[in-house]
Amino acid sequence: MNAVLALEDGTIFKGISFGAEGERQGEVVFNTSMCGYQEIITDPSYKGQIVAMTYPLIGNYGINPEDVESRRIFLEAFIVKEYSKIASNWRSQKSLGDYFKENNILGIEGIDTRKLTLHIRESGAMKAVLSTVDLDEKSLVKKAAGSCGLVGVDLVKEVACNKRFVWSKIKNAKYRVVVVDCGVKYNILRELLGHGCQVVVVPAKTEAKEILKIKPDGLLLSNGPGDPAAVPYVVKTIRLLLEKLPIFGICLGHQMLGQALGGKTYKLKFGHHGANHPVKDLRTGRISITSQNHGFCVDIDSLNKKDIEITHINLNDKTLEGLRHKKLPIFSVQFHPEASPGPHDAAYLFDEFIKLMKDNA
């Protein structure tokens, strides 16, 4: 079936659909990962976005039930150069197209993804519409321009859990960690479990006093979608807990922690989405290749350097990638140390979190 992708600036891409039929709106971004498409499409941080893969062939190893990163697909639509009709892998149980049909997700193939990527790099991420039902270009451009976008929109409420739950009960847990779910990836929970932690996941709107009643040894602020400035209720909770617990923030959690510490956030031109972003740890000089997925960033100049140390910098554009408090047991990173997909260079940060809880028991 024919499909049309229309950007808000009037740029049109025509292709063939796979997966479900219909129409979706979202901000178009590109992801530079060469594999890991299953983890990407189930990452809740992509809520509100249409993801274009720069690697040309996608779908060749199918879908399995073990590599999902959340309870369902949250991205709005998916763009590839070529969708592989053949899925071959010993763990594969279904094709990407069938998975999309089951979850009512639109996919489009056959467009020039290199041209689309270059256009986004030059003009910035922009609002778009992908449709198989309305192929009128002017109509679609108008819809794209009129869509809400990401700035100022609370998407956390669309992906967070509704009630508290324990992730895989374990005996003789060394530490109890509360995870504030703003769209947490399952591999963050797996990493904590692998480090001997009993993990209690709570909804994003859980108040500080309710978190303290659980008597955690540490608090993890999860990744999630959209604008960190649109979730002031989480920032308020963090402020109330700054001097109460060791805190580790990841991605959106890092941005919200930055705000709780007095910093400000801003929108990047086209964001960081992929598994090959070089980040330098300024404390050791060590460079990690990291997995990233974010469209907003903490402004380095807005932070109080008297109390806050800049720990990590992105080597591509020199944006802030990590911070820690000089007096309190608090730190955060903009990238994803749990990977999935991506390299495991930054997994050492979970060890740092464990040490913080141990030292502040």
> Which active-site residues does the annotation give?
251, 336, 338
Q: What does the alpha-carbon distance between residue 232 and residue 243 come to, in Å, rounded to a whole number?
A: 19
Q: Number of H helices and number of E strands within the chain?
A: 10, 19
Is the separation of the CB atoms in 29 and 295 below 8 Å?
A: yes
Torsion of CA 333, 337, 339, 345, to 10 degrees: 120
Tokens of 235: 């920032």
Reduced to 3 states (helix: H, G, I; strand: E, B; else coil), residue 202 is: strand
The span from the CA of 270 to the CA of 267, in Å, is 8
The DSSP element (H or E) to which 69 belongs, if any, is none
| Distance between CA atoms of residues 349 and 336, nearest Å | 10
Alpha helices in the chain (DSSP H): 37-41, 96-102, 113-123, 137-146, 156-159, 186-194, 208-213, 232-241, 252-260, 348-359
Q: Which of 251, 228, 226, 254 is nearest to 335 (CA)?
A: 251
CA 306, distance to chain mean position in Å, is 30
Q: Distance of alpha carbon 235 from its chain centroid, rounded? A: 18
Buried b or exposed e, range 9-41, using 16+ CB within 10 angstroms: eebebebebbbbeebbbbbbbbbebbebbbbbb
Residue type at 89 in one-letter notation = N
Token representation of residue 252 = 């959106």
